[in-house]
Amino acid sequence: MAQLLSTPQALQRTSGSARLARVVVLGGVALGVLLVLAAAVLWLHYGSTVFFEMIASGFAACF
């Protein structure tokens, strides 16, 4: 007869870490969506030329 590889306590710990992983992934997705929306708002407000100039000056400041 087959036996379980893990105990119920181990399954509870795994579900807790799975929940944490899900929260981290959802947080990352939310941050990505927020960044894309912020870029779209800047694009609509300043126009494409000014938007690209801001991005280029930001890269120049970093490097």
Percentages helix, strand, coil for the chain (3-state, rounded to 5) are 85, 0, 15
User: Quick one: which of 55, 23, 18, 53 has its CA closest to 39?
Assistant: 55
State the CB neighbour count (10 A cutoff) for residue 49.
8
Share of the chain above pLDDT 70, in %: 76
Q: Among 2-11, 25-34, 35-44, which stretch is predicted with the lowest mean pLDDT? A: 2-11
Q: What global pTM score does this model have?
A: 0.56
Q: Is 3 helix (H, G, I), strand (E, B) or coil?
A: coil
CA–CA dist 49, 62 (Å, integer): 20
Region 32-51 average pLDDT:
88
Q: Could you read off the pLDDT of 5-27 as tens digits, one per residue? A: 666 665 555 577 888 999 999 99
Whether the predicted pLDDT of 31 surpasses 90 = yes
